[in-house]
């Protein structure tokens, strides 16, 4: 929005209109999950644009497909089971939806992007048949070892038809943090339409764009995250594929997410809940259907970068030692965009052993096991997965013993 795009870079992945308006431009960044081994540090590293546009016809906020999903997702470092609060979230969801829909041993639950089976295992424990779809083979393998049937392919209309052909269609079709991660949103939603039973229900969770804007969560922008969704834009996409959103919940996860419930447009048993009307009205009041709403985000992001750098530089000048906590995708966007390298952050730690001994893409900050914090007693711990801040602050409460403090970078620099 700050300037017209010089070379019209592409077309809206939903409605096809030329994209002409910048939402935010975070410059060039490496793929946020491409952690480096020590022998890769001296090699050339690919960087791709993180330039986000808003479509002035349907208001879908989106990143162009600079990198194909094959490249990103076939060997993926993200294992859902390494976050306690996310595991609990999945368990609560399984309880709620089983009773709400009356799922039984005769139902089929299909999860898109089923990861390591962190969610489906809850249905398996109840004896409800499940099928996971997870294109990242190394991650799906973990699910299969747990006894969760998993298909290692990308989901879309073709796979939906293949499954239907084998007699598999879903009473519950769910996907958490996947709708935003598919480049061809029409093929994906079209696939859900095919795989859903006549009276079946879809639930999807994804970060809610108005919260991203309000809370300055620019670091949730990365190459894997193609669409940034409001209810407004999502309803348009679903309607175009013969699906209807009949209920919605606002969740605190990932800094503010929506959980939408959808069914076939002509399903007579599922009237649209007042919560959908309520959120539509609030989004409209916030301005999601007007281009002006998207203006100004870029400037707000730059201001946050300056504040964080100011804090880190001052702390370093005072001789403080600063460590990171976590190595999430969002951390890599933030560190690369802000230009924070080993000069400002000594190292980071993560609970996921897959990342230990590796280096963050772009910034080359080393990743250690969490014990490193106790061994080196840093003055500040920069919390990169700020969406888990309470969990992390309580797990790492011991840093208070040596006067250590936590730094939360988003929505504004906060020391606690
Ligand atoms: Zn559009």
Can you give 139-201 as a three-state secondary structure string?
Answer: HHHHHHHCCCCEECCCCCHHHHHHHHHCCCCEEEEEEECCHHHCCCHHHHHHHHHHHEEEEEE
Residue 323, exposed/middle/buried by CB under 10 A (0-12, 13-18, 19+)?
buried
CA–centroid distance, residue 287 to ligand 1 (Å): 16
Q: Is residue 98 within 8 Å of residue 127, measured between CB atoms?
A: no
| Strand-pair category, 257-264 with 196-207 | antiparallel
Residue 313 dihedral angles phi and psi, to the nearest 5° = -65, -45
CA–centroid distance, residue 227 to ligand 1 (Å): 11
CA–centroid distance, residue 147 to ligand 1 (Å): 41
Whether the per-residue pLDDT at 294 is higher than 60: the answer is yes
CA–centroid distance, residue 178 to ligand 1 (Å): 19
H or E segment and range at residue 27: strand 21-29
CA–centroid distance, residue 43 to ligand 1 (Å): 38
Tens digit of each residue's pLDDT (9 = 90 or more) over 339-390: 999 999 999 999 989 899 999 999 999 999 999 999 999 999 999 999 889 9
Predicted confidence at residue 1, as pLDDT, reads: 38
Residue 67 dihedral angles phi and psi, to the nearest 5° = -130, 140
Whether the per-residue pLDDT at 131 is higher than 60: the answer is yes
CA–centroid distance, residue 238 to ligand 1 (Å): 13
The span from the CA of 316 to the CA of 150, in Å, is 48
Predicted confidence at residue 78, as pLDDT, reads: 59
CA–centroid distance, residue 166 to ligand 1 (Å): 35
If pLDDT is split at 50, 70 and 90, which confidence band does 67 have? confident
Residue 196 dihedral angles phi and psi, to the nearest 5° = -80, 130
Whether the per-residue pLDDT at 123 is higher than 80: the answer is yes
CA–centroid distance, residue 55 to ligand 1 (Å): 5
The span from the CA of 40 to the CA of 241, in Å, is 44
The whole-model pTM stands at 0.89
Predicted confidence at residue 159, as pLDDT, reads: 98
Q: Is residue 171 within 8 Å of residue 129, measured between CB atoms?
A: no
CA–centroid distance, residue 16 to ligand 1 (Å): 6
CA–centroid distance, residue 15 to ligand 1 (Å): 4
Q: How far is CA 383 from CA 249, 326, 341, in A?
A: 27, 7, 15
H or E segment and range at residue 235: helix 231-240
If pLDDT is split at 50, 70 and 90, which confidence band does 68 have? confident
Mean pLDDT of 187-215: 97
CA–centroid distance, residue 158 to ligand 1 (Å): 24
What letter would DSSP give residue 410? S
Tens digit of each residue's pLDDT (9 = 90 or more) over 158-192: 999 999 999 999 999 999 999 999 999 999 999 99
CA–centroid distance, residue 37 to ligand 1 (Å): 40
CA–centroid distance, residue 222 to ligand 1 (Å): 20
CA–centroid distance, residue 54 to ligand 1 (Å): 8
């Amino acid at each position: 929005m700050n300037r017209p795009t010089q070379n019209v870079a592409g077309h809206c992945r939903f409605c096809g209109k030329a994209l002409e308006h910048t939402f935010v431009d975070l410059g060039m960044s490496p793929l946020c999950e491409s952690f480096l081994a020590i022998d890769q540090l001296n090699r050339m590293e690919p960087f791709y644009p993180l330039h986000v546009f808003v479509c002035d016809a349907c208001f879908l906020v989106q990143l162009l497909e600079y990198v194909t999903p094959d490249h990103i997702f076939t060997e993926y470092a993200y294992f859902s089971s390494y976050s306690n609060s996310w595991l609990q979230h999945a368990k609560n969801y399984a309880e709620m939806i089983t009773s709400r829909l009356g799922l039984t041993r005769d139902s089929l639950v299909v999860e898109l992007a089923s990861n390591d089976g962190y969610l489906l295992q809850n249905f398996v424990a109840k004896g409800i048949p499940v099928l996971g779809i997870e294109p990242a083979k190394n991650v799906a393998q973990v699910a299969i070892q747990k006894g969760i049937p998993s298909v290692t392919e990308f989901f879309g209309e073709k796979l939906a038809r293949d499954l239907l052909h084998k007699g598999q269609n879903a009473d519950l079709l769910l996907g958490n943090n996947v709708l935003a991660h598919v480049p061809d949103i029409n093929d994906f939603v079209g696939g859900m339409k095919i795989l859903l039973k006549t009276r079946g229900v879809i639930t999807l969770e994804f970060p809610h764009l108005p919260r991203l804007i309000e809370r300055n969560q620019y670091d949730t922008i990365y190459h894997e995250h193609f669409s940034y969704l409001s209810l407004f834009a999502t309803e348009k996409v679903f309607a175009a594929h013969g699906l209807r959103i009949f209920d919605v919940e606002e969740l605190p996860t990932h800094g503010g997410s929506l959980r939408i419930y959808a069914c076939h447009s002509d399903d007579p048993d599922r009237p649209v809940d007042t919560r959908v009307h309520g959120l539509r009205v609030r989004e409209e009041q916030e301005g999601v259907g007007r281009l002006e709403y998207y203006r100004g985000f870029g400037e707000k992001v730059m201001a946050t970068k300056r504040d964080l750098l100011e804090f880190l530089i001052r702390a370093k000048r005072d001789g403080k030692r600063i460590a990171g906590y976590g190595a999430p995708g969002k951390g890599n966007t933030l560190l690369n965009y802000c230009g924070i390298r080993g000069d400002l952050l000594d190292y980071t730690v993560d609970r996921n052993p897959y990342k230990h001994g590796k280096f963050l893409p772009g910034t080359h900050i080393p990743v250690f096991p969490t014990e490193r914090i106790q061994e080196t007693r840093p003055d500040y711990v920069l919390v990169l997965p700020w969406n888990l801040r309470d969990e992390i602050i309580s797990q790492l409460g011991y840093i208070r013993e040596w006067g250590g403090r936590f730094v939360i970078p988003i929505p504004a620099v906060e020391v606690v």
